[in-house]
Amino acid sequence: MLRVVFRWIRSAMVVVSLFLLSAQASTAEIDLLIQNARIIDGTGSPWFASDVAIDDGRIVAMAATLDLDARETIDAAGRVLAPGFIDVHTHVETSSSRDGLQRLPRADNYVLDGVTTIVTGNCGGSEIDIAAWRDSLVGLGINVATLVGHNSVRKAVMGSDDRAPTSQEMQQMQALVETAMQDGAVGLSTGLLYVPGTYATTDEVISLAKVASRYGGVYASHMREQGLKLHDSIDEAVSIGREAQMPVQISHFKVKGRTRWGSIGDALALVESYRQEGVDVVIDAYPYERASTNLGVNLPRWAVAGSIEDIAARIRDPDTRARIVADMKAMLVDAGYPDYSFATVAQYKPDPSIHGRTISEVNRIAERAATIDNEIDTILEMMLAGGAAGSTYGASMIYHYMSVQDVDTIFRYPNTAVASDGNINAFGRGQPHPRSYGTNAHVLADFVRDRQVLTLEDAIRRMTSLPARTFSFHDRGIIRPGFVADLVLFDPRTVTDKATFADPHQYTEGFDYVIVNGVAVVADGELTDDRPGRFLQHRQP
């Protein structure tokens, strides 16, 4: 009821503001008028020609021709005006391996790629004290919302122990999730592949998800397994959302491993079957066939439990090491790889000279014969020398896990949102995945313009209204009077991602204007000095 009233008030306000504009057209001056734009409104509808009036951070009028006085006028000259992109899967907390939003609050790599809102706290990793983190964010160039991460909550209460929580520990975890939601978190994320989330049962996650659900949160899942047990993992993610009665966002959807390439259609059919049953489950993906995560994922889960000292002790103990090696060989065979040439070092503190090299190359540089045993030795030595290194476990890596065809199939599924899974680092730091710089432009240049996997309108929908509705950003993600003026202006014939795996530190080119809450953070292709970004809280039901 309240929501209905609220909607009515909002539409009434739009009518009133339009009336005021028309009544005082000669005297009232709006903030910004964009003329001669091709509007792609974010809903997936075909583009149409319109002017757009913006005042006080919101879109106040749209018409084929608007004759209004404005403090600033932009002639779009037929370029596309779309809603600013909403990237629901990022990792922008500051850590030892990333500068994050606290140090680089303008988020240059994102705004230059057309992104106006990011959601962080994904894969189970977030800040615990959301209020303190929110207050620490000053001078934002972008809107930000955060999930609360199960791994971070579990670690704060139980360390990295491989066991079930006591009832008291369970209550402590629930209390942390509750406080985070009260402080504005938009939901709960899990990373059931990672330590210590991997030691949690489904029931543990459900009982925490129920807390987030009471506050209208989303359940965002980095699934337990994305290879052999992909379908079981989808079932688990859906059952958590179903039990806790909340929307499910399955993160960076993929099937890992050469042996399973071509089977992604079955996994998408499983997701769709749940939607048909009435479960609100959607997915997101980044438009690259290579993934990025830590070095430790190559080890069996039991071997990476506990502290970094625990892990090192296992690697040093000859009998335990032999078991680790045997499991790693089995994992390699299962995924269908002949060696570790699919694994490239992105960031390795003890020896930056190997950045950009595959494990097979690192092995050869160390003048070892090219055998699986030697490559595994190389990995285990890097684990020991690299240490925990924040969240990276030994090193941060890029893995050639997916096929181009599977990635295309994922992007053709109507309920796949575009999300980078990227982060924010100082320009030039490390050898990151290019997705942090170019995800959205890569979709527009490669998937839309060059290969025609998607139409422009459909691609934009996946960057805007689709993620906005899942995360209840009800007044963003669509160009419509009354909505917040988060906008991008670009020429679809020329917008181009420049970042590559070999040379990732390159900004996207072609987003001429990026407008956040009605204020330009990019104007004529250049960053401005304005910082209009906000911390977005979940609107509580």
Q: Provide the 8-state DSSP code for 31.
A: E
Phi, psi of 90 (to 5 degrees): -135, 170
In whole angstroms, the minimum distance from the beta carbon of 249 to Zn ion comes to 12
In whole angstroms, the minimum distance from the beta carbon of 433 to Zn ion comes to 12
In whole angstroms, the minimum distance from the beta carbon of 258 to Zn ion comes to 21
Q: Which residue blocks in 336-426 are alpha helix, DSSP H? A: 359-365, 372-386, 404-412
Quote the tokens at residue 205. Answer: 């996650």
d(CA 17, CA 166): 56
Taking the least distance from each CB to Zn ion, the nearer of 165 and 197 is 197
In whole angstroms, the minimum distance from the beta carbon of 222 to Zn ion comes to 3
Taking the least distance from each CB to Zn ion, the nearer of 68 and 123 is 123
**Among residues 112, 103, 48, which one has the least CA distance to residue 78?**
48
Taking the least distance from each CB to Zn ion, the nearer of 119 and 520 is 119
Taking the least distance from each CB to Zn ion, the nearer of 397 and 488 is 397
Taking the least distance from each CB to Zn ion, the nearer of 222 and 256 is 222
Who contacts 503 (Cβ-Cβ below 8 Å, separation ≥6)?
Answer: none
d(CA 467, CA 287): 16
Taking the least distance from each CB to Zn ion, the nearer of 393 and 513 is 393
d(CA 287, CA 419): 8
d(CA 19, CA 12): 10
Quote the tokens at residue 444. Answer: 């527009």
Taking the least distance from each CB to Zn ion, the nearer of 113 and 421 is 421
- Please, what is the Cα angle at 309 between 303 and 311, to 5 degrees? 10
d(CA 158, CA 172): 10
In whole angstroms, the minimum distance from the beta carbon of 193 to Zn ion comes to 7
Beta bridge partners of 74: 34
Give contact residues for Zn ion (rule: CB under 5 A): 123, 222
Residue with tokens 């369970």: 170
Taking the least distance from each CB to Zn ion, the nearer of 42 and 124 is 124
Who contacts 539 (Cβ-Cβ below 8 Å, separation ≥6)?
Answer: 216, 472, 474
Map residue 115 onto helix, strand or coil.
strand
